[in-house]
């Protein structure tokens, strides 16, 4: 079942939270999208992330639980120490299989499952980070007809992850401080 809205996946690691905090205020109720955040974070990290994000968006912010439905106008957070999968029936699944790129949740795992389930309805955004997690997932999104966006490595606190994507893939948009409107146009088209 294809959703009648776009699914925006945002993956990041070291240095990515500040970019997400600048992006979230632009997510207003007029946007017909679901946003899924995949951050590399440890299981024992403080759970204030939800509260910080909830104050920055008009969308409902929720940490994912197994079998939660994927709904428009929500920001979903991948829980620490679980891979987050998107299912064709518009639900989430949590998985504790081995780490990928030293990470669980892995950005690649989520991006790839979303691409396989929803194809052209998926937009992947890869932000700052210190490993190549997310690049293979972006490639799968592209192969399945979705669109891919990468943070300009020059603006990333840790440029390795977005630079890997820029070097290896043909991207739809290089996200800078100044083209948020271009990004919003892409996710609503």
Task: Report yes or no on 1 lying in a domain.
Answer: no
Q: Write down the catalytic residue from 13, 106, 113, 121.
A: 13
26 catalytic? Reply is no
Cα distance between residue 112 and residue 136, in whole Å: 8
CB-side neighbour CA atoms (13 Å) of 37: 25
Beta strands in the chain (DSSP E): 6-12, 33-39, 60-63, 74-77, 83-86, 92-95, 122-126, 147-151, 173-175
Say whether 13 is catalytic.
Answer: yes
CATH number of the domain where residue 52 is located? 3.40.50.180
Total domains in the chain come to: 1
Assigned domain for 102 exists: yes
Q: Which of 103, 108, 133, 136 is catalytic?
A: 133
* Residue 76, in any domain of the structure: yes
The residues facing 15 across adjacent strands are none
Catalytic residue at 133?
yes
Domain assignment of residue 134, yes or no: yes
Given 16, 40, 74, 83, which residue is catalytic?
Answer: 40
Q: Is there a contact between 78 and 40 (Cβ–Cβ < 8 Å)?
A: no
pLDDT tens for each residue of the chain, 189 residues long? 688 899 999 999 999 999 999 999 999 999 999 999 999 987 655 568 889 999 999 999 999 999 999 999 999 999 999 999 999 999 999 999 999 988 999 999 999 999 999 999 999 999 999 999 999 999 999 999 999 999 999 999 999 999 999 999 999 999 998 889 999 999 988
Q: Which domain holds residue 171?
A: 6-188
Residue whose token pair is 């890997």: 164
């Amino acid at each position: 079942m294809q959703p009648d809205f776009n699914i925006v996946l945002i993956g990041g690691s070291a240095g990515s939270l500040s970019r997400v905090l600048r992006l979230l205020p632009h997510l207003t109720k007029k946007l017909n999208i679901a946003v899924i955040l995949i951050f590399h974070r440890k299981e024992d990290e403080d759970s204030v992330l939800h509260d910080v994000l909830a104050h920055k968006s008009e969308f409902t912010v929720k940490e994912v639980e197994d079998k939660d439905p994927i709904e428009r106008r929500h920001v979903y957070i991948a829980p620490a120490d679980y891979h987050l999968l998107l299912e064709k029936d518009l639900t989430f699944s949590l998985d504790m299989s081995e780490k990928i790129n030293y990470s669980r949740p892995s950005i690649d795992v989520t991006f790839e499952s979303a691409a396989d389930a929803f194809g052209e309805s998926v937009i992947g955004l890869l932000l700052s980070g210190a490993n190549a997690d997310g690049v293979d997932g972006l490639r799968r999104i592209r192969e399945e007809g979705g669109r891919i966006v990468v943070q300009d490595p020059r603006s990333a606190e840790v440029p390795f992850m977005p630079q890997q994507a820029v070097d290896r893939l043909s991207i739809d948009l290089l996200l800078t401080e100044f083209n948020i409107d271009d990004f919003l146009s892409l996710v609503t088209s």
